[in-house]
Structure 1
Amino acid sequence: MKLRFAASVAGFALLASSLTASAASIILGDFNVEQYVEANPRRGQVSSSEVYSPSAVKVGGYRSLSVTNADGRAGGTSLESGSGYLDFNNSARTSGTGTVLWDGIGSTGLGGVDLTDGGTNNALFLDVSFADANLTLSFSVTDTAGFTSTISKTVAESLLEPTSLSFLFSDFSGSANFSSLNSISLILTGTTQGLDASIDTVYAASTLPAVPLPAAGWLMVGGLAALGVMKRRKS
């Protein structure tokens, strides 16, 4: 008796999910792999770093970090990945730029990664844990045909609480094909001195709500659920 009812409920859930269209998020970076780079590096440190980890780097299996600044201060600007965060730090009287690059292994790059997930995703997202005012966030993407698109946004006020920022594909300048990408860059720029920020996750997803189930579909699902209840009573 219970088995039949459970099967009916399972069928109901499966049908309901199949009648609701939703996009799948594509994670670029959750920043669990440890990396640390600093501009004008001190002894034992580096200004660029690469990591190869197919299980941890979600897109392409390879990621590089790099930083620069024009102030010449040793270690004045740093970019650090680990424990689920990407931390961008500038010491007092220092401003710089940090870059995260996803471009796969070898000359083939990412080989045509589809950030749209078949046309359902329409934006890149940044989950920001916190950020000082005047942080500029930029994306640059290049497709397999060599076309590039870019976008930049500046955080006008400090973000003191976790905030999700979206970058619509349609707002990018350029003609890159987001369904066939070879490289993706995230650039963080401190336009004022001493600027700090922390990024949680970078991903592609949809800004649009899931497609609602048509009324006829709900009638059909409701009928199946009722049928399951009837079977339970007869058992």
Structure 2
Amino acid sequence: MRRTLRYLTTSLALGCLAGTANAVVIDTFETDQPAISRTAPADTGTRVDHWISGSGILGGERELTLTLHPTIADGTTSSADVSGGAYNYNKDSTAGTFSYAFVVWDGADGTGTVDTSGLGGVDLTEGGRHDAIAISVNASDNPATVYIVADSSFGYSSRAALNLPGGISSPQTFIVPFSAFSVLGFNGPATFNSIGALQLQIYSPPSQNLAIGRVETTSTLSASKRGNLLVDTHGNSVANPGDVLRYTVQVANTMGSGQVNNVVFRDTLDSNTNLVAGSVTTTQGAVLSGNNPGDTVVEIDFGALPGGTTATVNFDAAIDASTPASVTQIVNQGLVSADGLTNLLTDDPDTAAAIDATVVAVLPAPAPPPPPTPGPGTSARAIPVTGPAGLALTVLALLIAGARSRLL
């Protein structure tokens, strides 16, 4: 059964897709491609292909194809090109429902025939960090269906259908999870960690002006992690051995709609810190590990995260008082898994780096203040009195102290 997606709009819906960290770039459309066109009735029942090599293209080559079905109304014209950083598809008539436009990435084969193994097994999951394809749509005058077809090899393919609304006049990003693909191949489904070819198949019954921008892989979830000083034992506003850190983790479903299931967060603390038992809290799900004495791992089972929702976890870690002076930072990074995701690492949102660990600078504990120096008039009462000799010394010390006081 074909799975049809309503438009899954991310938080980037009001802006173009700028590029996901560590994404597999399918096409930036920075390499222009001249227009191809078909006009009925002269070109009905035929197809035209054009391919080009360049930068920003998965596999190094992009193929464009247009077809007109024999039943399409006379006078209908369709065209496609790549210019201005976008793939542009135009169709000037509402008559006729059977016209297709294809964009194909299958390696540098120099033909219009789809090579289902041409990409040589590209891992679209990026080692389990990504579980979706993000498509930036710059314009769409009328509703259209975009089929995304993924092939691993001959007979092993999957397809998802993205229903675009009409009336798009500014860039919006649409997310198509790998879990939304259904089996298309007669041998079985595509394997997203070993892809041989990808296609966009555009089906648009009405007249159309469709512009597609960047296409790349992404994650349906995001995970951020911050570390802040919670208990400042020495009152110096910097982290030292003996202080306590508060970590805040936020796991968000970045899709406007669509649920991600079996979401789990796991975090093993830096070896120079100790988890404060009972400090682990979560706004959703259950704490599996972290609140028992001796726990060194925080584990949270969020269950399902609906589209647009965020779960927040807090936990505290005490910096070991015996941390050597050679240790200058506490480094920590958590891991999120879910259906289709196995290796999504947390990111420190306060740095420019992508998907980086959360680092807290640590300085050696300040030295204790020296004992006060005895001054004038300091009492000698600290001299122990033991026996007649001790008593005589005490009396002598008191007399000397009194004499000094009078002289001063």
C-alpha spacing 1:49/1:72, structure 2 compared with 1 (3 Å): farther
Measured in 2, the distance between the counterparts of 1:65 and 1:207 equals: 29
Supply the distance in 2 between the matched residues of 1:101 and 1:38 (Cα, whole angstroms): 17
Q: Tell me the CA shift for residue 197 of structure 1.
A: 0.9
In the TM superposition, what whole-angstrom CA distance separates every residue of 1:184-231 from its partner, at most 9, and x where no partner exists? 001111122x1111111111111211353573569723333x57xx9x
From 101, 104, 122, give the equivalent of 1:101: 104
Q: Once structures 1 and 2 are overlaid, which stretch shifts more, 160-169 or 214-223?
A: 214-223
RMSD: 2.8
Equivalent residue runs for 1:178-217 within 5 Å: 178-192=192-206, 194-212=207-225, 215=247
Measured in 2, the distance between the counterparts of 1:32 and 1:23 equals 19
Aligned to 1:10: none
Secondary structure at the aligned position of 2:58 is classed as coil
Q: Which runs of 5+ in 1 are unaligned?
A: 1-21, 231-235
Distance change in 2, residues 1:146/1:212 (3 Å): farther
The offset of 1:93, in angstroms, is 3.7
Give the TM-score, by structure 1 length: 0.75
Alpha-carbon distance in 2 for matches of 1:112, 1:198 = 28
Quick one: structure 1 residues 24 and 94, their matched pair in 2 at CA, closer, same or farther if it must change by over 3 Å? farther
Aligned length: 201
Structure having the larger proportion of residues in helix: 1
Amino acid at match of 1:176: A
Distance 1:213 1:23, change over 3 A: farther
Deviation at 1:50, TM superposition (A): 0.8
Give the corresponding residue for 1:16: none
Moved more, 126-135 or 68-77: 68-77
Distance, in Å, in 1 between the alignment partners of 2:107 and 2:56 is 10
State whether structure 2 residue 50 is matched by structure 1 residue 49: yes
- For the 8 Å contact 2:27–2:57, the answer to whether it is kept is yes
1:108-187 alignment, distance < 5 Å: 108-144=117-153, 146-174=155-183, 175-187=189-201
CA distance in structure 1 between the partners assigned to 2:181 and 2:21 by the alignment: 20
> Identity over the aligned pairs, expressed in percent?
23
User: Alpha carbons of 1:39 and 1:24: their partners in 2 closer, same or farther (altered >3 Å)?
Assistant: same
Answer with 1 or 2: which has the greater Rg: 2
Deviation at 1:138?
Answer: 1.0
SS of equivalent to 1:150: strand
Query: Which residue is 1:85 aligned to?
Result: 86
Match of 1:19 in 2: none
How has the CA–CA distance of structure 1 residues 23 and 122 changed in structure 2, closer, same or farther, with 3 Å as cutoff?
Answer: farther
For residues 23 and 206 of structure 1, the distance between their equivalents in structure 2, rounded to whole angstroms, comes to 10
Identify which of structures 1 and 2 has the higher relative contact order when contacts are C-alpha pairs closer than 8 Å and 6+ apart: 1
If the length of structure 2 is used for normalisation, what is the TM-score?
0.45
